[in-house]
Amino acid sequence: MSAFPKIILASKSPRRQELLRMMDIDFRVVLKEVDESYPDGLTPAEIAVYIAAKKAEAFDEDVTGEVVLTADTIVAIDGLILGKPESSEHAVEMLQRLSGKVHEVYTGVCLLHNHQYNKFYDRSEVFFRKLTEHEIRSYVEEYQPMDKAGSYGIQQRIGLIGIERINGSYTNVVGLPTEKVYQQLVRLKS
């Protein structure tokens, strides 16, 4: 198999970096500050793709030949978008809302290559069992999930003890739908 074009991962997420390493994909991390606001009226999938594309736009003038990979993951429940928590108490509130219910995780991805934007997303349903107040508070205290949409990481304790099942891609819930990313990268090199 021939190598993919050189890849820039525009994400500080250690989870996304680990997933790419596990896929044996060479990359380097380059970060730029981007305003992650979005217009009203977008669906959760549209929001995730919009923000991923906005992150890629920050590189469009600077990068030629390499592929810039950007992503944004959001959690949605009952029509409400749960982004990253603003405080520990906010994280507790989010997890209380998710407890005992089904929610959706959307990851929007953008591959920028030679000024061409390849945008796509994945969606997974996550089924949480009813969590106790102690489980929620001890998780937030110990893991400080301030950098995670919906206030949790599926690969951490709360996911291991609280998630009954998922419909869809596990890696999408982690933060990068690796199956779809791989297929799009294969298309780029052909």
Residue 175 to residue 180: CA distance in whole angstroms: 12
From the list 35, 72, 78, 122, the catalytic residue is 72
- Which stretch of DSSP H or E encloses residue 118? strand 116-128
**187 to each of 48, 50, 66, 113, 159, how far by Cα in Å?**
22, 22, 14, 12, 33
Give the containing element (helix H, strand E) for 75: strand 67-77
Tell me if residue 72 is catalytic: yes
Let me know: does 108 contact 168? Beta carbons within 8 Å. no
Catalytic residue ranges: 72
